[in-house]
Structure 1
């Protein structure tokens, strides 16, 4: 059916009038055709730079990075107080720490790899979603609205960048401190192999890359626990406890080949790089294990967060 406009003398379609009225209403209220607020773009919400700056301003981030910078100096003081020979050419990694700057970096990674580095990664990833829930700000963040998958992705990427920063900062500061105190000598392995200083820098870089990849399982587990609880301490502590338990079980030789499936079994495989003839077997197995564990745990975390009832 159609009507006639007495002023214009033309026929109008009621459906067309309804569409024009609806469009005018959307223009007046600022609502687009898809029902979203005019100008709203999901890609513009929770920008990575904003979230990264926010996390860098947090006290816990500053304390963690500050301690990472301070650790090499603590080790130097410990060696200065104790008895150490800078010309030592044999012994374990601790005995060889003062032989050269590369050896000092190896020691820093060695002493931090068992507990400190997994704890740092667990802290950054376990605190992602759980902290927002504990502050009762998560539901408001989603009401902006920021899509759930974007919230999880942006916070996970931010946590990953902060973790990598800490993991790179430790050997970098250790190298500078080692150069100042012990000089740019060869990297000496416990087996007596001597690696030139230039090549040792490549070895250190590869070692850091391996450690970053190997700790992917810690990041995945911490993320899963972070979306499963409203207590950041529970997510971080739970991840650290699993890491400690895995290290304890790895020391039980009675488990035999079952230890190969523990996520921490290949944590120190990067030490195979400190040799003139490198065996890549353990490192390849460690990368595969970490990628599998990390991928599965991250996907479980994403699935959990996508279906979780957000109440805080």
Structure 2
């Protein structure tokens, strides 16, 4: 395994043993890595980042055996492993356990691996160089997008189509509830299965947060990607300052059983639109907002910006291979 995560670890962290009520049971993460040292390091980072129940597997084959017996809420896997590597594991989980999202840990120089993983069905990836700062945030987002709302989905199943319009203040807390609403509509109209709906939710979240931070609040990608105190302080300040305070994000969502189209428009100055709008290019990772654009292009059927760069249209076309009924049958 060529890439290493740097973090001091002396002994394997103990798993929580206190009994919890059903409502308080934290999500279960299956950590897959052939290196016991790396598993201990990542386990420690997970304990520091949030409240999780953590299980271990030393390769893809062992991971699939574990999932069959005790399905986790999320799989976090290394790429390079014996017997079955991370990319093969992504494909197997996608086909056999579509409700379980997979996040890959990628090393330096693995940009193409990240692209291949997203194409294969991964929900997200986290570079090992950014594990300390980004791991918890990425896993929490993926888990939030994968959460089930089965009762509401059943209620919405009688819809034949829906058009919705939203006007959002520059409050990131509004993004999660809106994405959850749109994801339920995708499932109810059988545009895609739960696995694909999770990925669409992540793409929508990226687009909406980009409209708020980069568009309306005009915060640069470098500072946004840092996610530190300086970034949070600037967001808080600009949300209450002119001209930012009066700007809004407008969302038009059209969902039918054939496809879903989402048009997200901010009132900022826009940005330089990439010259290759249909390409999923590893070079995007070098751009300040490249990660979000890579995720959107990987998870949606089509992503197009207007010439100004302040409006993005994301389309997800129904595929029989991704429909809910097909996933259940498999």
Q: Which band: TM-score by shorter chain?
A: under 0.3
- Calculate the TM-score normalised by the size of structure 2: 0.24
**Whose radius of gyration is greater, 1 or 2?**
1
Higher share of residues assigned helix: 1
Task: Report 1 or 2 for greater relative contact order, CA contacts < 8 Å, sequence distance ≥ 6.
Answer: 1
